[in-house]
């Protein structure tokens, strides 16, 4: 249990996500938020605050206990879109070339996939994220694609 102040408490729920360096938990009675712990999470949310449209909203930073509370994203839908539409490695570098974009767009024939490719490109270029893989992005409740992992 985490005491925030006298009238607000975040209760850690189940583990819902895990990478090499960080763990992410649901929060009881806060369906729309997650607790994140692990390497450099405080530094990471500071980056999120500088890129508020393309990263999870930040609700709480506990510098002492070293955890943060951020907006929960829907990660499964992104995985499907990524597997369906993205080819190759070095995606960040490739997205800077027009020929890579043309190559991706050549394979698709519907607005949803076309929009995904452009939206994903914009998230990558704007956030400057280097660690690009299917587990590091998700959609917010309004369907906006965001990057959820911004620690180097």
Binding site for ligand ATP (CB under 6 A): 17-22, 24, 34, 36, 56, 70-73, 75, 131, 135-136, 138, 148-149, 151
Cβ 59 to ligand ATP, closest distance in Å? 11
Of 22 and 121, nearer to ligand ATP (C-beta) is 22
Tokens describing residue 43: 């530094």
Which burial class, exposed, middle or buried, applies to 15 when counting CB atoms under 10 A from its CB (0-12, 13-18, 19+)? exposed
Of 47 and 71, nearer to ligand ATP (C-beta) is 71
Cβ 150 to ligand ATP, closest distance in Å? 8
CA atoms of 57 and 72, how far apart (whole Å): 9
Helix or strand (DSSP H, E) at 14: strand 12-18
What is the 3-state composition of the chain as percent helix, strand, coil, each rounded to the nearest 5? 35, 30, 40
Q: Is there binding between residue 38 and Mg ion (CB under 5 A)?
A: no
CA atoms of 41 and 96, how far apart (whole Å): 28
Q: How many residues bind Mg ion (CB under 5 A)?
A: 3
Of 70 and 117, nearer to ligand ATP (C-beta) is 70
Cβ 115 to ligand ATP, closest distance in Å? 22
Query: For 74, which DSSP code?
Result: B
Number of other CB atoms surrounding residue 78 within 10 Å:
21
Member of 12, 13, 19, 85 binding Mg ion (CB under 5 A): 19
Residues forming contacts to Mg ion in the complex (CB under 5 A) are: 19, 136, 149
């Amino acid at each position: 249990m985490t005491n925030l102040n006298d009238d607000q408490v975040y209760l850690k729920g189940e583990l819902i996500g895990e990478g090499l360096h960080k763990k992410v938990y649901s929060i009881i009675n806060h369906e729309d938020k997650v607790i994140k712990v692990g390497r450099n999470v405080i530094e990471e949310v500071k980056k999120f605050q500088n890129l508020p449209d393309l990263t999870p909203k930040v609700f709480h930073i506990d510098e002492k206990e070293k955890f943060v509370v951020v907006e929960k994203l829907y990660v499964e839908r992104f995985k499907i879109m990524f597997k369906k539409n993205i080819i190759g490695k070095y995606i960040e570098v490739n997205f800077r070339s027009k020929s890579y974009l043309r190559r991706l767009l050549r394979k698709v024939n519907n607005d949803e996939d076309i929009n995904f490719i452009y939206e994903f490109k914009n998230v990558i270029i704007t956030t400057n994220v280097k660690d690009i893989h299917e587990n590091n992005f998700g959609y917010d409740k309004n369907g906006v694609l965001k990057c959820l992992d911004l620690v180097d």
